[in-house]
Structure 1
Amino acid sequence: MKIIIAPAKVMKTKQVNIETTDILFKDKTTQLHNYLMKFNLDQLHDIMKISFKMADTVYSYFHNEYTAVPALYCYQGTVFKQLSLKDYDADDFVYLEQYLNILSAYYGILKYNSAITPYRLDMIMKIDFNLYQFWQDEIDNYFKNEDYIISLASKEFTKMLSHPHIINIDFVEDKAGKMVRNSMYVKQARGKMLDLMVKNKISDLDSLKRLTFDGYIYHEELSTDDNYVYIRNGKQTYKKL
């Protein structure tokens, strides 16, 4: 079993007292770094669909030196903010080391303590080559011996994997009998579920199904073998999504 999550665009470089490890695919990341260094501000603005102010920041990411920090502490998105990192003990970090992987267009696969610096790169950015194909061999080889993958990642990053048994975790809200997905609530729920998995050392699917939080509960009728639905404010009978 492995758990996958997506990275975040917001990052920080404040150092923490956590021992880091080297990134897994240094040669591939160096190849990407050298390619991205060729773009000027206008090109970054156009390719990444970002403001000129943000393009200036991204340009700095690829041309200046930054202090490397553990990946789980570097990303500052909604998912990552749900993790009570300050409360984690040694056993929690052992769990993270064993089960968690962060997918990245720039680094490929990260462990929780992989030493990284800020960057900006999405899988769907229109550059001279396909990033899914660029990472395919590394991703496939890394996960090939796993029985199944628990995906708390977006579709954009889950698509990096071609594993035959990926279980997507789907969070929905019942609004007067209609099931809806709120992107912010989904991101919060992904982070909170990961936090609970760490604290409860979840390592099997039955235990995963029993997790409840913030009103979310696993819904057997809506779920399939590759899509586990957690619903809140839900009733007992629904048609499958």
Structure 2
Amino acid sequence: MLTVISPAKKLDFEKPSKAPTYTQPAFLDESEKLIDVMSTQSPADLEKLMHISPALAELNVERVHQWSRPFNKKNAKQAVNAFQGDVYVGLDADSFSDDEFLYAQMHLRILSGLYGVLRPLDLMQPYRLEMGTKLANDGGKNLYEFWGNKITENLNDQLQAIDSKLLLNLASNEYFRSVKRNTLNAEIVTPVFKDWKNDQYKVISFFAKKARGLMTAWVIKNQIKSVDALLGFAADGYQYSAQDSDANTLVFLRKQ
């Protein structure tokens, strides 16, 4: 089984990584093309394009101008340790053993607006470029058009490498839109996490994101390979609900 997750806006490039080794991203040439496009943007341009504050716009102009190759441990960090959002709180990669890092390297992929697809141990430099950003480029009017079939082809290659026909989608809708479902050589299973609030079960973003990370970690640590095994996920009080699920959407409920 291959799992995909989204990146995070929050980053940490200060704390040393506990990962045992590092690798280079597959699409650095493409990333450099996007950096070149981004380098033509002023802080005011980025503020408008990304709907961010002036301070964040200034920060990201600085990041773009500092981005440089080659990547090494002095100027970059392993992706799974660099991202620090809610999903990654649940994932808690700092708790991984060396063997778990290496298993994740084969069975986990992070979708990215700038890097396309990242393996956990791939080095990355700090950035902010969400997949839904309407950044005009040589490939089209947005990042979905820029990446085209590359992301799907990369996932297909890895599915073949691990001899699997199952993709666990723990990414957000924005990022999973970059995957071409009709050419992906796998069954897609998407878990949904709902919490009890105001007399009904509903998706609460903060909790759902953390739960995606918790499931990702559980899959890695237990080397889960089948849909049937996924149904046993019960971290933080979530329980699989058969009556709310179907073959491709697995619903997990929590009532606190």
TM-score (ref. length: structure 1): 0.91
Selected match of 2:234 from 212, 217, 226: 212
CA drift of 1:6 comes to 0.3
Q: Distance in 2 between matches of 1:121 and 1:53?
A: 16
Contact 2:132 2:175 in 1 (8 A): no
CA drift of 1:55 comes to 0.6
Residue 70 of structure 1: aligned partner: 78
Contact 1:143 1:163 in 2 (8 A): no
Structure 2 matches for 1:68-217, cutoff 5 A?
68-128=76-136, 129-144=141-156, 146=159, 147-164=165-182, 165-175=187-197, 178-217=200-239
Residue 238 of structure 1: aligned partner: none
3-state DSSP class of the match of 2:25? coil
RMSD: 1.7
3-state DSSP class of the match of 1:230? strand
Q: Distance in 2 between matches of 1:76 and 1:11?
A: 5
CA drift of 1:169 comes to 1.0
Residue 45 of structure 1: aligned partner: 47
Residue 237 of structure 1: aligned partner: none
Cα deviations by residue, 1:81-135 (Å, 9 ceiling, x for unpaired): 2233333212211220111000001000000011100111112222222211211
Structure 1 letter corresponding to 2:224? I
Identify the range of structure 1 (172-181 vs 57-66) with the bigger mean alpha-carbon deviation: 172-181
CA drift of 1:177 comes to 5.0
Percent of pairs identical after alignment? Answer: 29
Q: Which runs of 5+ in 1 are unaligned?
A: 235-241
Q: Distance in 1 between matches of 2:105 and 2:25?
A: 13
Cα deviations by residue, 1:32-59 (Å, 9 ceiling, x for unpaired): 0100000011111111111111111000
Contact 2:113 2:130 in 1 (8 A): yes
Cα deviations by residue, 1:52-86 (Å, 9 ceiling, x for unpaired): 11111000110025820000011110111223333
Identify the range of structure 1 (110-119 vs 146-155) with the bigger mean alpha-carbon deviation: 146-155
- Paired positions, count: 234
Q: Distance in 2 between matches of 1:118 and 1:181?
A: 30
Contact 2:111 2:118 in 1 (8 A): yes
Structure 1 letter corresponding to 2:214? K
Q: Distance in 2 between matches of 1:65 and 1:191?
A: 28
Structure 2 letter corresponding to 1:7? P
Q: Distance in 1 between matches of 2:92 and 2:44?
A: 39
3-state DSSP class of the match of 1:214? helix
Contact 2:110 2:118 in 1 (8 A): yes
3-state DSSP class of the match of 2:128? coil
Structure 1 letter corresponding to 2:134? K
3-state DSSP class of the match of 1:9? coil
3-state DSSP class of the match of 2:105? helix
3-state DSSP class of the match of 2:190? strand
CA drift of 1:12 comes to 2.0
Q: Which runs of 5+ in 2 are unaligned?
A: 69-74, 160-164
CA drift of 1:198 comes to 1.7
Contact 2:81 2:94 in 1 (8 A): no
Contact 1:25 1:107 in 2 (8 A): yes
Determine whether 1:56 maps to 2:74: no
Q: Distance in 1 between matches of 2:45 and 2:222?
A: 46
Determine whether 1:9 maps to 2:31: no
